[in-house]
Amino acid sequence: MYETLKPATAWELAGMIATCRERRLPIDVSGAGSKRAIGRPMQTAVTVSTLSMRGIPLYEPSELVMSARAGTSLSQVEAELASRNQMLAFEPIDLGPATGGAAGQQTIGGVFAANLSGARRIAAGAARDHLLGIKGVNGRAEEFKSGGRVVKNVTGYDVARGLTGSWGTLAVLTEVTFKVLPWPEDTATIIFLGLTDELATELMQTAVGTPFEVSGTVHLSAGLAGRLRHDGLKSLGTSLTALRIENFTPSVKYRRDSLREHLKVAGFVKAVDLDAHDSIAFWNELRQLSVLPHGQKLLWRISTTPGKGPRIVAAVRRHMEAEALYDWSGGLIWLEVPATADAGAADIRRAVATHGGHATLIRAESAVRAAVDVFHPMAPAVEQLSRRLKTAFDPDGILNPGRMYTQF
């Protein structure tokens, strides 16, 4: 890396990309760099950071919409929203601490570029579902926009949403417009104790299949639960399966009691309640993956059909030790495995291939990330479309080349 450029406007950014394109200089596209340790290592000549494109040009609380320049920190966005009692309902997770960085660094552009959603994703949708519009510059050095500031919009193709999860390989976002929601008035969490992975998944699936709008479901093995900061919970010595309810205060009480009753009938009895204060602290801890701290071990993120989660983990465990944190009713698994040269990729991907879904290597030394497919390998037809899409946005392959895939 030779230099970091920090354009202050989209126009300036377009000029920089034009120059790089002319000289065939590959660009490391970044915000605050909080996710730099994720993805395949790149060889780039220039770093372009969005950090000087900051600020919130539009916030209409009564329309539930905000626009922020891409380099605005997530913490600033969330503070602004909190001042009007609103939030990003998809509860973006912070991968900083888990990948060796500090917490609270990431930019709002990075949140959407990586499509990072937390526990509430099962009820409220993903980051991509909240994105309404973007402005950006592609690898042709063209400034473009897609979508807008209104929720209902099918004018033209959904290019904005199509850029989520592309990790800066298609375009550099300069501004994002997204939907926001009111903070729930109250919240409560029920934690069931000592369930196996299979029973916990059944519990979580049963809970989200009730009318009580469960807005978070996680399962931690006893080992992971012991790493929680929460004093009461970490000393229990059992696995924990948590269900969250959020709503107006009388509803939270009613729904929590109804849910417990419903689950008792299904045979799930032994549980403790967290009040609003402890509940918020517990889910905030999970947003930073505090139980999977940076260290020697490797970290995978697996998305699958919820019921298949425990089977994938069991299949992996036949080959290696693994600690699993289940989110999204069992459909999202954060898997901590020992450091090996191939990161366990062959065994993990075989298990995922059997049951469906995809696996991404989130944390590993750069040599390992250079050697194995970090993002899930694609079927040939999907790969061809993806390659063409890359060409449509970035024909010379100068934006984050090789970060997601070796081929482009």
Partner 1 sequence: MSLIRMPEPDLGVVARRDVIVKDLEKLLGPGVIIADEDGRRAYETDALTAYTRMPLAVALPRSTSEVATILKYCRDNSIKVVARGAGTSLCGGALPAEDAIVVSVSKMNRVLEVDYPNRLARVESGITNLAISGAVAKEGFFYAPDPSSQLACTLAGNLAMNSGGAHCLKYGVTTNNVLGIKMVLMTGEIVEVGGGHLDSEGFDLMALIVGSEGQFGIVTEATVRILRAAEGARPMLLGFSSSEAAGRCVSAIIGSGIIPVAIEFMDKPAIHVCESFAKAGYPLDVEALLIVEVEGSDTEISRLLEQIAEIAGPFKPQTVVVSSGTDQSAKIWKGRKSAFGAIGRISDYYCMDGTIPLGRLPEVLLAISSICASRGLKVANIFHAGDGNLHPLILYDANDPKQSVAAEHAGNEILKLCVDVGGCLTGEHGVGIEKRDLMGLQFTPTDLALQMRIKSVFDPSWLLNPAKVFPLDTPRPSDAQAEAEAA
Residues 81-140, interacting with partner 1 (CB under 8 A): 85, 115, 117, 121-122, 125-126, 128-129, 138
Strand 27-30, strand 46-49: pairing: parallel
The values of phi and psi at residue 196, to 5°, are -70, 170
To partner 1, the closest distance from the beta carbon of 348 in angstroms equals 14
Q: Which helix (H) or strand (E) holds 144?
A: strand 143-147
Site string for partner 1, 6-45 (x = CB under 8 A): ----------------------------------------
Which of 59, 61, 71, 69 is closest to 29 using CA atoms?
A: 71
Write the DSSP string, 178-240: EE-EEPPSEEEEEEEES--HHHHHHHHHHHHTSTT-EEEEEEE-HHHHTT-S-HHHHTS-S-E
**Closest distance to partner 1 from the beta carbon of 231 (Å):** 33
Count of positions on this chain that bind partner 1 (CB under 8 A): 89
Give min distance, CB of 292 to partner 1, in A. 19
Smallest gap from Cβ 251 to partner 1, in A, equals 5
Pairing of strands 46-49, 131-138: unpaired
Burial of 257 (0-12, 13-18, 19+ CB in 10 A): middle
Residue 399 is given by DSSP the state B
Give the nearest distance from C-beta 144 to partner 1 in angstroms.
5
Specify the residue, 110 or 306, whose C-beta has the smaller distance to partner 1. Answer: 306
Residues 200-229 that bind partner 1 (CB under 8 A): 202, 205-206, 208-211, 213
Residue 73 is classified by DSSP as B
Rank residues 37 and 159 by Cβ distance to partner 1 and give the closer one: 159
As measured in angstroms, the least distance from the Cβ of 136 to partner 1 is: 10
Provide the token pair at 174. 């300069």
- Restricted to residues 155-184, the positions that interact with partner 1 (CB under 8 A) are 155-159, 161-166, 170, 181-183
DSSP 187: E
Contacts of 119 by beta carbon, 8 Å cutoff, 6+ apart: 91, 215, 216, 217, 218, 244, 283, 286, 287, 327, 328
Give me Rg for the CA atoms of the chain: 21
Span 340-379, contacts to partner 1 by CB under 8 A: 356-358, 360, 375-376, 378-379
Measured from the CB atom, the residue of 150 and 346 that comes closer to partner 1 is 150
**Residues of span 42-71 touching partner 1 by CB under 8 A:** 60-65
What x/- string results for residues 291 through 310 when contact with partner 1 is judged by CB under 8 A?
A: ------------xxxxxx--
For partner 1, the binding residues in 310-329 under the rule CB under 8 A are 328
109, 374, 335, 273: CA torsion to nearest 10: 10
Spell out the alpha helix ranges (H) of 133-183: 159-162
Residues 158 and 172: their CA atoms lie apart, in Å, by 17
Nearer to partner 1 by C-beta: 51 or 343?
A: 343
What residues between 242 and 271 interact with partner 1 by CB under 8 A? 248, 250-251, 254, 258
Q: How far is the CB of 207 from partner 1 (least distance, A)?
A: 10
CB-wise, 6 or 84, nearer to partner 1? Answer: 84
CB atoms within 10 A of CB 399: 28
Choice from 6, 145, 230, 297 touching partner 1 (CB under 8 A): 145
Q: In this complex, which beta carbon is closest to partner 1, that of residue 214 or of residue 225?
A: 214
Cβ atoms of 160 and 109 within 8 Å: the answer is no
CB of 19 to partner 1, least distance (A): 19
